[in-house]
Structure 1
Amino acid sequence: MGEGNFMRKTYVAFVAAIALIPLALWAQGQRTDEMPGMSSDVSAHAMHSMEERHMDMGPHMKMTNLRELKPGDQEKADQIVQAARKTADKYENYKTAVADGYKIFMPDLPQKQYHFTNYWYAFQAGTQFNPEHPTSLLYEKHGEDYKLIGVMHTAPKYATEDQLNERIPLSIAQWHAHVNLCVPPADKKRDAWGPNAKFGLAGSIATKTECEAAGGKFISQIFGWMVHVYPFEQDQASIWSVERQAHGHMD
């Protein structure tokens, strides 16, 4: 292959990768003027806020309601767990995931769980559910290596609970969404960190009125619906752990 052809193909691949970012956000129901890119200040701020401290399912996290178990629910959930195990076995080595198109989200931000995201799968999840194509792979970092612990599926933020139930039974799993984010103005970024934070997903401000009065930018829901699956666990409560989902984002 000539150098010119190589450069053209590299450029096309780069443009395609960049183009998928707003498509993935659109698929999850996120306005691109609110979230111009996964590496934007707002996105980085949201992730840092989620890692800052535990929020006890407070005003910044919304959960779906548990439903009564219906015939077929457990079998359907078991099939999703089996698919997650198959995916986890394939991507035990994070380098394989990277080679297959998964990109680490905010690699320089210390996190309890690192999300390796496939933006094409995120785009697909906007209209259909494929248990073998999780939007993100969840890894814990150990030194310079990563250990895979689970997968994350997503759905558009405008999805109803009935629609989420069609993907994964709500009698088994609870989806979560990050809500009521007040992004601080440039001169108040310090007020987004620490135990007495006012802004961010760990802050005391949780309404549009309070946010605008403080000079911030209010986002009612950032990202779409999410649910984690920890397929290596041995019991249902641990496989679909709500507490672990919350701590994974926020500790």
Structure 2
Amino acid sequence: MVTVPLAAQHDHHGDSTQMVGAADAAMSGEMSAAARKHVELSPMRTATRDDSVKARAVIGELRRSLAKYRDTSAAVADGYQMFAPKVKAQRIYHFTNYRNAFMEAFRFDPEKPTSILYQQRPDGSLALVGAMYTMPKRASAEKLDERVPLSIARWHKHVNWCVPRPRQRDRWFEQQDGHSIFGPESPIATRAECDEVGGLFFASPMGWMVHANVFAGDELGAVFTHER
């Protein structure tokens, strides 16, 4: 049985809503020194012409397939569900197709991403910005490279998380010396440190993921940035 990564599932049990929301916030803009302890990036490779051609082919296919989803109702009709609909003012809204999330462990179809990504406009409406592909956390660099070249995109996964124990959700907001104790912006990044604060340690809570912001322009670095 293949386990779909938490970030791909965007499931609703336990503290997954809090975890994915915290992960998304931690990846916005320049990461702090503490946040860098909790992110593993795919290795960089020397760019080749073939890599650029391959990446642009993915962009082209994805843009064409996403065009009909500028209205979120079309995405919902095709099986994409808004993650954490009760959470307001999300930095990026993920509409996830759980079947696609599961199938990404076995195949890569640029036209069937795990999630479609939207950003809120000043008037409250949602603007289509791109999509997210995922892979299981044990996927090799070679497997990631086969999908979106590592010389073009930095796939990332979240690592070394200390989280509150079940039924202690209020502890998500605890701080020490001005830093969050739990989650992806905590200075705690080892099991021993996590044990000291009574938390649960997850070495790799989520799988690999990469955002493809295909409506951000034509420059490859802007499309495949991991900090959006």
TM-score range, shorter chain: 0.7 to 0.9
Aligned-residue Cα RMSD (Å) equals 2.3
SS in 1 for 2:139: coil
| 1:131 corresponds to | 110
SS in 2 for 1:72: helix
Question: Contact 2:172/2:183 (CA < 8 Å) preserved in 1?
Answer: no
> 2:214 and 2:200 mapped to 1: Cα distance?
38
- Of residues 120-129 and 48-57 in structure 1, the stretch that sits farther from structure 2 once superposed is 48-57
- Superposition deviation, residue 144 in structure 1: 4.6
Match of 2:3 among 19, 22, 26: 26
- Superposition deviation, residue 195 in structure 1: 5.0
Would you say 1:218 and 2:186 are equivalent positions? no
Question: Contact 1:52/1:194 (CA < 8 Å) preserved in 2?
Answer: no
> 1:240 and 1:117 mapped to 2: Cα distance?
19
> 2:193 and 2:209 mapped to 1: Cα distance?
27
Would you say 1:65 and 2:43 are equivalent positions? yes
Would you say 1:167 and 2:140 are equivalent positions? no
SS in 1 for 2:174: helix
Question: Contact 2:25/2:91 (CA < 8 Å) preserved in 1?
Answer: no
In the TM superposition, what whole-angstrom CA distance separates every residue of 1:172-229 from its partner, at most 9, and x where no partner exists?
1110101111112427333169952111112121111111221111111122100011
> 1:106 and 1:150 mapped to 2: Cα distance?
18
Q: How does 1:1-251 map to 2 (within 5 A)?
A: 26-28=3-5, 38-53=11-26, 55-56=31-32, 58-109=36-87, 110-142=89-121, 143-185=123-165, 186=168, 188-191=171-174, 196-232=179-215, 233-244=217-228
Matched to 1:224, the amino acid is G
Q: Structure 1: which 4+ aligned runs deviate by more than 6 Å?
A: none
- Superposition deviation, residue 52 in structure 1: 4.7
In the TM superposition, what whole-angstrom CA distance separates every residue of 1:64-117 from its partner, at most 9, and x where no partner exists?
121012352111111100011112212111100000000011122231101000
Question: Contact 2:97/2:115 (CA < 8 Å) preserved in 1?
Answer: yes
> 2:153 and 2:55 mapped to 1: Cα distance?
8
In structure 2, list runs of 5 or more residues that go unmatched: none
Q: Which has the higher helix share?
A: 1
Aligned length: 215
In structure 1, list runs of 5 or more residues that go unmatched: 1-22, 245-251
Query: TM-score, normalising length from structure 1?
Result: 0.78
> 2:93 and 2:176 mapped to 1: Cα distance?
20
